[in-house]
Structure 1
Amino acid sequence: MTSRRCWLFLSVLLAVLMVATPLSAGGGEPIYASTSPHLGYGIMVAYPPGHLGLVTDMGFDWYKNFLLWKDIDKTKGYDWTSLDQRLQETAASGLNLILRVEGPPVWARAWEDHYWAPVAHDKMAAWREFFRATAEYIAAWQADHGTSFRVALEVWNEPNLSFQWGDRAVDPAWYTEMVRYAYEGAKAGDPNIIVVAGGLAPTGGTSDGMAMDDVQYLEAMYDACLAGHFDVISTHNYGFGGKPDDKSWGYGILNFRRAEDIYQVMVNHGDGDKPVWATEFGWLLDASYEGHPECIGYWESIGFAWQRVSPDQQADYLVYAFQYADANWPWMGVMVVSNLDFSTTGWYATCDPLNWFSILKPDESPRLAYNALKGMTKRYRSWEVWGMDVRPPSLAWMMPITGTRRVTETVSVLNTGNLPFTWTVTTSTQGLPFSVSPLSGTADGSFQVVMDAQGLTTGTYTGRITVTASAVEVEESPFGVPLTLYVVPRVYNVYLPVVARWFSGP
């Protein structure tokens, strides 16, 4: 066997730090260091939730369940038994909770013969009072039990589809009325509770009015005075068999990236500072992989067969969906996988698609998707009501006296809480020539720092930027950003040996 040793010398030029590249303020910055963590990792759990331990084992921090008005509002007043159970389970699990609120009592329905009939117009005051009492009860329960998990109330489910609207033609103005009354009631009960509107199903709509394009439906909601009556807009951006990043899939409508179109409507109406939550999304597992090829024919008959994916694809697409949203959608908040365990309940026929969106098998063992999501790297956002971070937290430069120059850096003011705020900037200097613009902005905005070292002599120059939030509740405010410039006499080259060996056969 022969071998050859080749010594390569890499010139590591310390002047890399001297040509206006900032010195590191510390290692280990996340991949998307320009944005703060903004996702919530959630999953929908069958009623009643019996697998919350598996949710926490996945490293998720939210779950979604259900709150039925008819179960609370009894003839002799409110009975909070079912809500107590959800709150107790949530507190024990360490999770946060989304409650999808639905199921009006018969007397409050617009037509009595359908569970999904909307709230009657003349019963809206009772609907508002129910939300007020619910929010107030949750806040009091948490105070009594010393807990602080987040609770969000999602108003209804997929109102742009007729089967979730009492099998009648859908009505965005009517649904918006329900949202407005719900929001007013909830905020009267607890100003910090999160109110989620929408739950819209991606669809192109039908000419008979029994389904309405979700983007057009949201536009109609704004026309009906939605603005100012929600904290979050939710969408059900299922993958429909396509890859998470494929915007052309499903005629450009039935795909995971449909969430972008929903957000664009919000931007167009001045609500770009509010988040979208994906309160249902997932991929349909091909049942033939688990010994049920007969399901494919049934799915063909109901228009689902084209959506099916392999176990590997279900796992890969779910993980990539979170990664894609983290990297590309700073406006996305909680993402709720549909679903964990509907397959284990025994409520649904073998070929019901709900069983095959599940990431547990009927025997409660994990599918590939469960393990993939469990092993997925997660960047949790803070769910504090108020919070601020400034990135980078400091700036430092090193330049040779022969190469001083003007540099520009961007500093981001990030909202790590739930409520928006504005900020202002002040500066001070000890010889460091720099300027900042703009001097004010909104959370998740940024400002530029221009530092001009031209003409400076050798030495150390410092300055400081102070970012102050408008809301006194922001504990991180004021936030100091130190600035340091080192002007040095000369550049040194350092040579490091790198050993490379090539081996060939005899």
Structure 2
Amino acid sequence: MSRLFLLRRALFLTLMLLTALPAMSLAAIPQPGQTNLAPMASGPTVTVTEDLVNVRSGPSTAYGIVGRATRGKSLEVVGKNAGATWLKICCVSSKQGWINASLVKANGDLSAVPQAAAPAPPPAATVKRAASAPAPNVRAAGFFGYGIQVDTSADKGFIVGAVKNMGFNWVKFQLPWKDFEGQPGQIDFGGLDDMVGQFNGNGLNILASIVKAPQWARPGNSNFDVEGPPADPGTYANFVRAFASRYCGRVQAVEVWNEQNLWYEWGGEPIDPGRYVQLLAAAYRAIKGACPGMIVVSGALTPTGAPAPLAMDDIAYLSAMYRAGLRSYSDAVGAHPSGFNCPADGDWRSVSDGSAGYRGPFDNRHHSWCFRGTMEGYRNVMVANGDGGKRIWPTEFGWAVSNSPHPGYEYAADNSADEQAAWTVRAYQMARSWGWVGPMFLWNLNFESGEQSAFKVWGTPTYDALRNMSK
């Protein structure tokens, strides 16, 4: 047969196909040069709600990326994991994959979607012990500052006087989102105006740590016995946008979440650095859009070597945050370099304090034992990821002292009031000399009950030592 005959026959068959399938969109028919088209959806679908979402080979960020989906893309759901926190979809680049359920909107009921078996997890990545070497002593952009976390239920005049008497210039408080937006879109900042006015009006800079999603914003299968993040990062972004717009110029910095590598701070859900960075990215864009000068601090991690599902090693989590894009969505990196019963300049590899081993079932030796180990470990991760021009903000640190400590805080009985004072002063001095630390927030000024009171410095030798410390 001639080429002309074959060409005419192909054209005839194409026209017949179009006539026989009038309801089919032309976009669904392969065009010249077009490949990897997904099959038409036959089951329930979801629509991507974020600008760019990773599709992975399994239901967690530990699995590799097999493709990406953009905002508005519709995907067929063919399976889900046990908690329905990850959905198996079809298809991206002709491949099935898994997508985080918090980043899509269901177009119908997904309850009948069968549970899908996850593939074997990839080999665990070897975590480079970034805490094993001193951090480069190179100055970073930004500034140092003296701060402390306060119990805002106390008299505000007392707080202002106590902080300024120490020669400190920053205060931090937690702001529970759930207390200010009980229903979607109904934001009431209540008495916050007066508190911000008193602190800022008396020359104190403010760091607000915005945490605790309201129940309406959390996933439907949440464990409401613990606080947790929203299902849709956009709901959090809407709230922080309103906050930044209202307090622009009066609140200097916002910390986006708190200790998200710990199970009960992440709602009992699977710990997921990638999902956290998506929350951070949405918040960063919202805050900067409303108040470009407001500083955005990434949520500080809890220093720990506890295993899954209780927590994720904070060095590993920070590294995963960088892989997910942390560098582009923060002005500073939050940290909680707890001191436990290790001196401020103590080395976690050799510290020999008698009760240090009580924390041991997880790791006999771990950077999280010591203030310096956590700070140097984070700095090394930042430098390794090309983010050495940014500062670490310790948004909570300190040493507990108690003769009858709460369970889990037994190390506090090993610390004396004089040690607390000396180590706290030393921590401020070291951090200032390093040149890559921003404002430091001691935990805490004036909490009176529970394990929090073991860290209180009001009325202690530590308060006097900090007041007399050279600044």
Scaled by the length of structure 1, the TM-score of the pair is 0.58
**Letter of the structure 2 residue corresponding to residue 359 of structure 1:** V
Change over 3 Å in CA distance of 1:37–1:230 after alignment to 2: closer
| Structural mapping, 1:62-101, within 5 Å | 62-75=170-183, 77-101=186-210
Determine the C-alpha separation between the residues in 2 that align with 1:231 and 1:372: 31
Determine the C-alpha separation between the residues in 1 that align with 2:379 and 2:140: 18
| Structural mapping, 1:255-404, within 5 Å | 255-257=370-372, 258-285=374-401, 287-288=402-403, 295-296=404-405, 298-299=406-407, 302=408, 304-305=410-411, 308-327=414-433, 329-343=434-448, 348=449, 352-360=450-458, 366-378=459-471
Counterpart in the other structure of 1:39: 144
Contact 1:284 1:308 in 2 (8 A): no
Q: Deviations over 1:279-298 (max 9, x none)?
A: 1111111x23xxxxxx15x5
SS of residue paired to 1:199: strand
Q: Deviations over 1:452-479 (max 9, x none)?
A: xxxxxxxxxxxxxxxxxxxxxxxxxxxx
How far did residue 219 of structure 1 move?
Answer: 0.8
SS of residue paired to 2:393: strand
Determine the C-alpha separation between the residues in 1 that align with 2:201 and 2:262: 36
How far did residue 37 of structure 1 move?
Answer: 9.6
SS of residue paired to 2:427: helix
Contact 2:200 2:251 in 1 (8 A): no
Contact 1:169 1:211 in 2 (8 A): no
Contact 2:409 2:451 in 1 (8 A): no
SS of residue paired to 2:258: coil
SS of residue paired to 2:395: strand
In structure 2, stretches of 5+ residues that fail to align are: 1-136, 357-364
Is 1:154 the counterpart of 2:246? The answer is: no
How far did residue 48 of structure 1 move?
Answer: 2.6
Change over 3 Å in CA distance of 1:308–1:44 after alignment to 2: farther
How far did residue 267 of structure 1 move?
Answer: 0.9
How far did residue 85 of structure 1 move?
Answer: 2.9
Change over 3 Å in CA distance of 1:105–1:82 after alignment to 2: farther
**Letter of the structure 1 residue corresponding to residue 229 of structure 2:** P
60-69 or 105-114: bigger deviation: 105-114
Q: Please point out which of 234, 241, 248 is paired with 1:132.
A: 241
How far did residue 309 of structure 1 move?
Answer: 0.9
Contact 1:104 1:115 in 2 (8 A): no
SS of residue paired to 1:195: strand
Determine the C-alpha separation between the residues in 1 that align with 2:140 and 2:409: 39
How far did residue 90 of structure 1 move?
Answer: 1.4
Contact 2:299 2:334 in 1 (8 A): yes
Contact 2:340 2:411 in 1 (8 A): no
| Structural mapping, 1:94-109, within 5 Å | 94-109=203-218
Determine the C-alpha separation between the residues in 2 that align with 1:160 and 1:279: 15
In our comparison, the structure showing a higher alpha carbon Rg is: 1
Determine the C-alpha separation between the residues in 1 that align with 2:287 and 2:224: 28
Determine the C-alpha separation between the residues in 1 that align with 2:225 and 2:426: 39
How far did residue 368 of structure 1 move?
Answer: 0.5
Determine the C-alpha separation between the residues in 2 that align with 1:307 and 1:335: 25
Determine the C-alpha separation between the residues in 2 that align with 1:306 and 1:94: 34
How far did residue 212 of structure 1 move?
Answer: 0.7
Determine the C-alpha separation between the residues in 2 that align with 1:175 and 1:66: 18
63-72 or 276-285: bigger deviation: 63-72
Which structure features the higher share of strand residues? 1
Counterpart in the other structure of 1:118: 229
Contact 2:379 2:392 in 1 (8 A): yes
Determine the C-alpha separation between the residues in 2 that align with 1:35 and 1:175: 25
Is 1:195 the counterpart of 2:296? The answer is: yes
216-225 or 41-50: bigger deviation: 41-50
**Letter of the structure 2 residue corresponding to residue 116 of structure 1:** E
Counterpart in the other structure of 2:43: none
Q: Deviations over 1:302-351 (max 9, x none)?
A: 25336731111111111111111122x201001111001002xxxx3xxx
Is 1:241 the counterpart of 2:341? The answer is: yes
Determine the C-alpha separation between the residues in 2 that align with 1:48 and 1:40: 24
RMSD: 2.2
**Letter of the structure 1 residue corresponding to residue 205 of structure 2:** N
Scaled by the length of structure 2, the TM-score of the pair is 0.63
Change over 3 Å in CA distance of 1:169–1:210 after alignment to 2: farther
In structure 1, stretches of 5+ residues that fail to align are: 1-31, 143-148, 289-294, 361-365, 379-506
How far did residue 35 of structure 1 move?
Answer: 10
RCO higher in 1 or 2 (8 Å CA, sep ≥ 6)?
Answer: 1
Determine the C-alpha separation between the residues in 1 that align with 2:466 and 2:392: 21
How far did residue 68 of structure 1 move?
Answer: 2.0
How far did residue 247 of structure 1 move?
Answer: 2.1
Change over 3 Å in CA distance of 1:233–1:307 after alignment to 2: farther
Q: Please point out which of 146, 152, 166 is paired with 2:267.
A: 166
Q: Deviations over 1:431-488 (max 9, x none)?
A: xxxxxxxxxxxxxxxxxxxxxxxxxxxxxxxxxxxxxxxxxxxxxxxxxxxxxxxxxx
Determine the C-alpha separation between the residues in 1 that align with 2:465 and 2:409: 28
Change over 3 Å in CA distance of 1:62–1:225 after alignment to 2: same
How far did residue 150 of structure 1 move?
Answer: 5.1
